[in-house]
Amino acid sequence: MNKVYKSKLARAIALAFIFYITSFSDLVGQTVWLDQLDLSAATQGYGVPRKNKTVDGNVMKIAGQSYDRGFGTHAESSLQIQLGGKAKLFTAWVGVDDEMKEHQPAVEFFVLGDGKKLWSSAVMRVGDIARPCTVDVAGVNKLELVVTDGSNGNYYDHADWADAKFETLGATTFATFNPVSSEPYILTPKPSATPKINSASVFGVRPGSPFQFRIPVTGDRPMNFSASGLPSGLKLNGTTGVITGKLAKAGTYLVKLRAKNAKGIAEKSLKIICGDQIALTPPMGWNSWNCFAGEVSAEKVKRAAEVMVKTGLVNHGWNYVNIDDFWQNHRDSKDPSLQGKMRDEAGNIIPNKRFGDMKGLADYVHGLGLKIGIYSSPGPWTCGGCAGSYGYEKQDAESYAKWGFDYLKYDWCSYGNVINGLPQNDPYKVSSLSYQGGNQLATAMKPFQLMGDLLRKQPRDIVFSLCQYGMSDVWKWGGSVGGTSWRTTNDITDTWTSVKNIALDQEKSAAFAKPGNWNDPDMLVVGTVGWGNPHPSKLKPDEQYLHFSLWSLFSAPLLIGCDMEKLDDFTINLLTNDEVIAVNQDGLGKQASCVQTIGDLRIYVKDLEDGSKAVGFCNFGLEKVNIAYNDLNKLGFSGKQRVRDLWRQKDIRDISTDKEALDLNVPVHGVVLYKLSPLR
Ligand code: GLA
């Protein structure tokens, strides 16, 4: 054989070999391990996504079995993977990591293919042996791996996708992605220098209760306030715009509010309804939990109140400053500032050293024209293990009133142990979600009825916020036990999965919202949040616009959960759009419901007092929505309507709803929020 021939033959053999290998691997495929992909695209409720380790950085271990490879995460968790139809099979062993065995976490794993559920693990707890996940993913373009909180809040939910891998169709690898843009962008125009009164149209108070209402007004200072038609018993401070006093008799009083500065004058009518109901529009304010959790102190609460005034948030209606858990002494904390006697000889609760003078704090907050809230549990312990109200309900209601509190959040937690006869020193909610025997509804209502009645006996109005995560369809009876609002779901986290699942869960209760009775899908997760580990909300800007729009459409209590001292321009802008807030504060008090879905686009409609409707085109999907929408009749519109973009505070156009289409461009996980008003 000559040299040339030899080398040609060698090349031909090599090529044939390569061809054989490639086509063979095309046929048999490959294994692509999940840990070979970029996991940083995942979003999760706590910590960072980990490769081959748990969320705390340990070797993954489920019920004693260790795993070298996989994805360690924490509920609520979501990882998106572009498969492009090139994978056949996804397999993994899933479970709660043993590193949390001192606690009671519960999670549920889901595999979604192109938005559809392909598999779920059912709820898993710590100590459960790993469950095999084997999912046929042939033809799937986008795969999502999700871990939810197992319906008991996302506490200690360390979740492992162990030995997770794909069998592919041919030689390939996959990219993870997060389709939502991260760039913050400002939509709300700055308030004008001329006065504008941003209050709701109604305000409720009970006869004989101290009255306090700070008129929210934007515009240059100094500002002078006046009012006509103020009933006797009330007086307005012309400089601060705070109305105080007392109304002796029930009745409806029509007041004209006026605000004047160097640039001009504004007027607005306010209907004061003195009767049985308070919180005729959803409460708006701040709560310490989502940022400070167990680190709250009187100083932090004072500073949050001061920021509410200094940043001008108060001029948009933000008003309550609410202390959550950890103002009381703790069961067994090592922190000296939480140690001490829980109660005095008469059974009166003693605030911890970080708080001390509760009346002084309440006076300070009232002095700013704001209101103040407090927190307790009907059980012996709060969710965080501080002293609860069980057995001392009367003393507690009286203390709150004596100190001057305006709002009580009353959180089920260890009450579950009381009714189930479980050890009362375990404050966690694991036992609380089910009742053993008995009349379940009566059991669920009892502690709230008790506190509700006691609050009503106090000589001041105290908003009663029920927190029991939606058990026993609380929206059907929360009002009857004196509740002003009630949580409908478990705790929120600053992840898209959490916000989305909570939002999707609101339909069941929507019809029950009305003035004085609000469904509460939990507090806002915008700004710097973190339950003691402060970080910027993990929600992307579009997700935050959607979150705030939905909570406004839902007529939800609006409670800012962030560190007020770290408010950035984006967050302030998000929280100060008066036209969006007006949707939340509308006097009719209806909650929006989802009237139509087009793929992942959910269209929510909320009827407003002036005969117009707010419409939220909410994109829950992974693709932008660009459509000519011509179903306005299906949403209940007819004739000519003026379309206004509420986030941009701009009229878009007038539309003949029977003939014309609306061009919609809705970002991924974003919103277009319009108000449509009938034109004559
Ligand atoms: C529960 C509630 C939270 C918060 C904590 C405090 O989890 O749902 O909103 O109040 O308790 O411990």
pLDDT score for 144 = 96
Distance 383 CA to ligand 1 centre (A): 6
Q: What is the rounded average pLDDT for all residues in the chain?
A: 93
pLDDT score for 124 = 97
431 DSSP assignment: G
Tokens representing 506?
């609101």
Residue 467 alpha carbon, nearest atom of ligand 1? 8
Distance 2 CA to ligand 1 centre (A): 84
User: In what side-by-side order are the strands of the sheet with 407-411?
Assistant: 518-520, 485-487, 463-467, 407-411, 371-376, 320-322, 284-287, 558-560
User: 3-state DSSP call for residue 506?
Assistant: coil
User: 3-state DSSP call for residue 119?
Assistant: strand
Nearest to 272 by CA among 252, 245, 248: 252
Residue 383 alpha carbon, nearest atom of ligand 1? 12
Question: Residue with the nearest Cα to atom 8 of ligand 1?
Answer: 491
- Choice from 330, 411, 414, 428 to test ligand 1 binding pocket (greatest atom count within 8 A of CB): 411
Distance 322 CA to ligand 1 centre (A): 13
In tens, the pLDDT along 34-57 reads: 999 999 999 998 899 999 999 999
- The mean pLDDT value for 396-417 works out to 95
pLDDT score for 182 = 85
**E strands present in 151-231:** 158-168, 175-177, 196-197, 202-205, 210-214, 217-218, 224-228
* The model's pTM: 0.89
pLDDT score for 431 = 42
Rounded percentage of the chain residues whose pLDDT exceeds 70:
93
In tens, the pLDDT along 418-428 reads: 887 776 655 44
Helix count (H) and strand count (E) of the chain? 12, 41
Tokens representing 348?
């009166």
Nearest to 628 by CA among 663, 674, 667: 663
Q: Is residue 491 flagged as an active site residue?
A: yes
Question: Residue with the nearest Cα to atom 1 of ligand 1?
Answer: 383
Q: Measuring from each residue's beta carbon to the nearest atom of ligand 1, which residues come in under 6 Å?
A: 153, 289, 324-325, 382-384, 411, 467, 491
Q: Is residue 411 flagged as an active site residue?
A: yes
Of 325, 396, 411, 520, which residue is the catalytic one? 411
Distance 153 CA to ligand 1 centre (A): 9
- Choice from 328, 383, 432, 529 to test ligand 1 binding pocket (greatest atom count within 8 A of CB): 383
User: 3-state DSSP call for residue 476?
Assistant: helix
Of 491, 520, 563, 578, which residue is the catalytic one? 491
Nearest to 228 by CA among 269, 196, 264: 269
Q: What domains can be seen in the chain, in order of their start residue?
A: 31-177 (2.60.120.1060), 196-274 (2.60.40.10), 284-585 (3.20.20.70), 594-678 (2.60.40.1180)
pLDDT score for 3 = 57
pLDDT score for 440 = 84
Of 26-35, 381-390, 647-656, give the lowest mean pLDDT range. Answer: 26-35
593 within 8 A of 618, measured Cβ to Cβ: no
Rounded percentage of the chain residues whose pLDDT exceeds 90:
86
Helices of type H across 31-94 = none
- Choice from 432, 491, 494 to test ligand 1 binding pocket (greatest atom count within 8 A of CB): 491
Task: State the Rg of the chain over Cα.
Answer: 28
Residue 153 alpha carbon, nearest atom of ligand 1? 7
